[in-house]
Amino acid sequence: MESDCRNVAALISDFVDGSLGPREQALVASHIEGCERCRREVERTREIVARLDSLGGNRAPLYLWPCVARRIDERRTRRSLSSRFRIMPGWRMVLIPAAAAAAVAFFLLGPMHPAGPKLPQSPAAVAQASAELSAYMQAYSQFRSAQPLSDRAAIAAAAHLEREDAPPR
């Protein structure tokens, strides 16, 4: 009887759903007729299922579409702006020299860290390093004015912006 109860317990959920095969359905039905404990389990399960069913079917408190549409618009605008900033040539032109200057500054000031390279030993070496930095910045600046769209990403960005700004046909 105990093993019957264990077997039936595993089938109770499907029995309540009516999703057992005919033979198993009949087996459980027959068992619970004579077994008070399993019958109670079936009744409890039915009540649980009824209570759960009563939690469903909630109606949304308002018509969601206008709010959803507004969010879609906002997100589109945000995506468009962020994509422009990400590829805008001018933005890159600020960042690249800044990164180069930072790299040179790190090279010069690196010895402040105990493990870093040594400072130029003589005033002449410092002057030479400064001159190299100035020359680099000057060259970059000339290069930037002469060929502002010379790298691939910048060209792609310009094409993208042109397409977006083109008047509709």
- C-alpha distances in angstroms, 88 versus 7, 125, 155, 158? 69, 38, 10, 8
CB atoms within 10 A of CB 8: 22
Among 1, 6, 33, 65, binds another protein (CB under 8 A): 65
Amino acid code (one letter) for 46: R
Closest distance of CB 6 from another protein, Å: 13
What character string, x for contact with another protein (CB under 8 A) and - otherwise, covers 109-148?
----------------------------------------
Closest distance of CB 145 from another protein, Å: 40
CB atoms within 10 A of CB 105: 11
Closest distance of CB 12 from another protein, Å: 8
Helix (H, G, I), strand (E, B) or coil at 86: helix
What character string, x for contact with another protein (CB under 8 A) and - otherwise, covers 25-64?
---------------xxxxxxxxxx-xxxxxxxxxxxxxx
Tell me if 151 sits within 8 A of 140, measured CB to CB: no
Distance CA(26)–CA(60), nearest Å, equals 42
State the number of binding residues for another protein (CB under 8 A): 36
DSSP annotation of 110? G
What character string, x for contact with another protein (CB under 8 A) and - otherwise, covers 1-30?
---------x-xxx----x-----------
> How crowded is the C-beta side of 44, counted as CA atoms within 13 Å?
8
- Of 69-77, 91-99, 102-110, 138-146, which part binds another protein (CB under 8 A)? 69-77
- Site residues, another protein (CB under 8 A): 10, 12-14, 19, 40-49, 51-65, 67-69, 71-72, 75
